[in-house]
Structure 1
Amino acid sequence: MLWSHPVSPGDRLIIRFTHSVDKTDVDEVIRVGKEELIIDSTVYQSFGAGLPSTLHDRETMKLEGGKMRIDHINRSQKSIDLFIGQVVANHKLVVDGKVIPLKKLSPPGTSVRLSVGRENLFSYLRRCLFSGGTLAFSE
């Protein structure tokens, strides 16, 4: 385990990266479920390669503060795998207002997995003493 943090269902976090073409930030807003992560919304400045341009199901799109925002994505994931960008992406995790550059957890070009789960009391206490909680990045 590279990093962990205590969370509760309903908490939100952001995976932030720089778009390789537009060089603007993209925020993927993630909501914590019981034992899953739910992709809640995405925020970006302009349409570009790999960014959503169509809506699905109950998704809505609006212009907010000069940025596009797609809400109600509601895609449940047991885990989210990321390759830490080597050149432009500069992936970051934003939790409780704290910005954590992923390249400080693992070298650029490596993959990490973000997941959430419950722990038994012994594991939780051990993890809290050394690293903090149950939202976790692992290699």
Structure 2
Amino acid sequence: MLFLTEAIALRISQDWWTMGRIRISVLLTAAGILLAAAQILLEPCLLVTANGERIALAPAQAGFPLSVRFIHSVQKTPVEENLRIEDGGFTLDSTRYQSFGVGLPFLAEEGRFRREGDDFVFDRMNRHFPALSLRTGVGTHLVLTLGAGGAKRVLALYERWAPGTRIDLSVRPLWRVMF
């Protein structure tokens, strides 16, 4: 009888140990999944919306390039502004345009100004913006380019949204975009 009691006690001890190992494995696996999900959900994303509707979402690592191209409303000439993602917002690096006009940069203390062929280039601007708000306009042909090289994505905003549509760009953690 003593032998049976010892066998039962040993079996209970083994079951408890096995169940404990399973519990620990399940807890460690769950913790790993939660940490991985948290890492993904905390990743910064570039969010582009039109009148509050999400139209584009892209990874937003520091240095991610984007450009805004449009036809200047007064000068009726093309303008291209080159930006990069930095510090949870946008840094304007350079502007390229073909004629002087209202709203176009020209002061030497704001960067470096030079002529390249038919274009005026203003670079080393280093202007930081926490977010960007743009508007489509009549004849402005607003185009947003996300990324560079073969991975770039071109959004011809003027083709899809009516003049006056507000286009917002922001950098947010993925969880804020999803929930």
Quote how far apart the aligned CAs of 1:106 are.
3.5
Tell me whether 1:115 sits opposite 2:170 in the alignment.
Answer: yes
Give deviations 1:105-125, integer Å, cap 9, x for gaps: 5432121211112224xx78x
Q: Corresponding residue for 2:60?
A: 7
In 2: Cα distance, 1:20 partner to 1:110 partner:
16
Q: Aligned to 2:83, which of 7, 30, 33?
A: 30
Give deviations 1:27-62, integer Å, cap 9, x for gaps: 0111111311111111101112221222334x1011
Aligned length: 122
Tell me whether 1:84 sits opposite 2:136 in the alignment.
Answer: yes
CA RMSD of aligned residues (A): 2.2
What percentage of aligned pairs have identical amino acids?
34
Runs of 4+ with deviation above 4 angstroms: none
Q: Aligned to 2:102, which of 19, 24, 49?
A: 49
Scaled by the length of structure 1, what TM-score is found?
0.76
- For residue 4 of structure 1, give the secondary structure of its aligned residue in structure 2: strand
CA contact (8 A) 1:20 1:89 kept: yes
Tell me whether 1:101 sits opposite 2:156 in the alignment.
Answer: yes
More off after superposition, 89-98 vs 31-40: 89-98
Quote how far apart the aligned CAs of 1:8 are.
1.5
Which structure 2 segments of 5+ residues have no match? 1-53
In 2: Cα distance, 1:76 partner to 1:51 partner:
17
- For residue 73 of structure 1, give the secondary structure of its aligned residue in structure 2: coil
Structure with the bigger percentage of strand? 1
CA contact (8 A) 2:140 2:158 kept: no
Larger radius of gyration: 2
Quote how far apart the aligned CAs of 1:7 are.
2.8
In 2: Cα distance, 1:26 partner to 1:60 partner:
17
Scaled by the length of structure 2, what TM-score is found?
0.60
- For residue 117 of structure 1, give the secondary structure of its aligned residue in structure 2: strand
In 1: Cα distance, 2:58 partner to 2:161 partner:
17
Quote how far apart the aligned CAs of 1:90 are.
1.2
